Amino acid sequence: MTIEEKSAALLKLHEGDAILSVVNVWDAISAKVVAETPGTTALATASHSISATLGYPDGEVIPFEEHLLMIRRIVATTDLPVTADLEAGYGDAGEAVRRAIGVGVVGANIEDQMKPIAEATRAVEAVMNAGDKEGIRFVLNARTDAFLRAGERDPSAVLDDAIERGQAYLSAGAPVVFVPGKLNEDQVRALVDAFGPRKLTMIGVPGSLSRDRLQELGVARVSYGPWSQRVALTALQDLTVAVAAGGGLPEGAKPLN
């Protein structure tokens, strides 16, 4: 597919009746395994996982050049559309997205970090303008950190913030809004009512609502952030424990690399 076809395909996956499920990847081999698994329709990178792979803490500590190089390698493994986690845009969200499009990315998460809403909305506009200039309908997953940075605030006030910010980002051109956090059904329902069906995207965390229930509620997409890498690392640690105890490889291990 051309990059224009990939961007159109990714947007369509968010708008369809079926929820888009993406298991996040962090390097070329994880991307290859996920992309070649039946049922996978798109790939999403996880910045936390890429940073950990290269020895950096999360939070834009990894140099953008290193981050982008890993994203390039991921894109090169597949013909599926790829959406990238670009954190908060490394100081210039529009430029970060322009460069990501240059390596084949057709969508991205950009965090608002609860910056003033006018500033965060300008970043959304810059991202969408960058896509327009590159000739694609860029699938921005505009992220608000309202719940992640809620602290001890009243949950109803946090929900109001998420709604206000999400609506502002949609008005600025973002196709969908990402509200990470362990949200309950009433909160998800309120967000879908405020944004419209298939406009809210979420993260799956231990104890969160099931994918099927999120689909019933009108959520567009669920991703798994760093949790997919954590599952893989848990399996590695379990093997190490088993070997140290005198055991060996578990049944069912596959030569996927």
Q: Tens of pLDDT along 149-206? A: 999 999 999 999 999 999 999 999 999 999 999 999 999 999 999 999 999 999 999 9
Please tell me the distance from the alpha carbon of residue 145 to that of residue 165, in angstroms, as a whole number.
Answer: 10
> What sign for the dihedral angle of Cα 231, 232, 238, 242?
positive
Query: What is the average pLDDT value for the chain, to the nearest integer?
Result: 97
The band of 118, judged by pLDDT with boundaries at 50, 70 and 90, is very high
pLDDT of residue 163: 98
Backbone angles phi, psi at 97, to 5 degrees: -70, -40
CA 66 to chain centre: 19
Residue-wise pLDDT tens digits, 72-88 = 999 999 999 999 999 99
CB atoms within 10 A of CB 173: 18
The band of 132, judged by pLDDT with boundaries at 50, 70 and 90, is very high
For 222, the enclosing helix (H) or strand (E) is: strand 221-223
Q: Where are the alpha helices (DSSP H) in the chain?
A: 3-15, 28-35, 47-53, 64-76, 93-102, 117-133, 155-171, 185-195, 211-217, 227-244
pLDDT average, residue stretch 35-63: 98
Q: Classify residue 155 by its DSSP letter.
A: H
Tell me which residue of 116, 113, 114, 115 sits closest to 59, measured CA to CA. 113
Residue-wise pLDDT tens digits, 197-248 = 999 999 999 999 999 999 999 999 999 999 999 999 999 999 999 999 999 9
User: pTM for the complete prediction?
Assistant: 0.95
